[in-house]
């Protein structure tokens, strides 16, 4: 499945599209290659990507990779704060 097949069902933010491709491929290069293939055939997606890159200050060449790096860093920060997060499942933080 690619972005084109789900696009008519939902209008997504570009970062949702990134997450879709990153979830479909274990290898970042394959995810990026498939994303770029999709950009070639979808002018609307390409414009959305260009606008996002401009807003974030990235070139279109590295925007997808930068998103992945930032995403990985954000996830690792939570892992550092809560290294045993599964132990917190079901814990009522509002209880005193």
Please write the tens of the pLDDT for every residue from 12-57: 789 999 999 999 998 999 999 999 999 998 999 999 999 999 999 9
Residue 28 contacts by C-beta under 8 Å, 6 or more apart in sequence?
22, 65, 68
pTM score, whole prediction: 0.67
pLDDT at 2 over 50: yes
Query: Do residues 56 and 65 lie in contact, with contact meaning Cβ atoms separated by under 8 Å?
Result: no
Number of neighbours of residue 36 by Cβ within 10 angstroms: 15
Confidence grade of residue 74 (pLDDT, cut at 50, 70, 90): confident
Q: From the centroid of its chain, how far is CA 91?
A: 29
**Alpha-carbon separation of residue 89 from 13, 16, 55, 92 (angstroms):** 29, 26, 36, 9
pLDDT at 62: 95
Rounded to the nearest integer, the mean pLDDT of the chain is: 79
């Amino acid at each position: 499945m690619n972005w084109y097949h789900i696009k008519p069902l939902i209008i997504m933010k570009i970062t949702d599209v990134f997450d879709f491709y990153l979830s479909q491929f274990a290898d970042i290069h394959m995810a990026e290659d498939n994303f770029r293939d999709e950009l070639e055939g979808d002018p609307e997606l390409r414009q959305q990507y260009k606008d996002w890159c401009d807003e974030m200050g990235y070139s279109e060449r590295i925007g997808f990779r930068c998103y992945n790096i930032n995403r990985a860093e954000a996830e690792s920060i939570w892992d550092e704060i809560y290294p045993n997060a599964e132990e917190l499942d079901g814990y009522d933080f509002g209880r005193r």
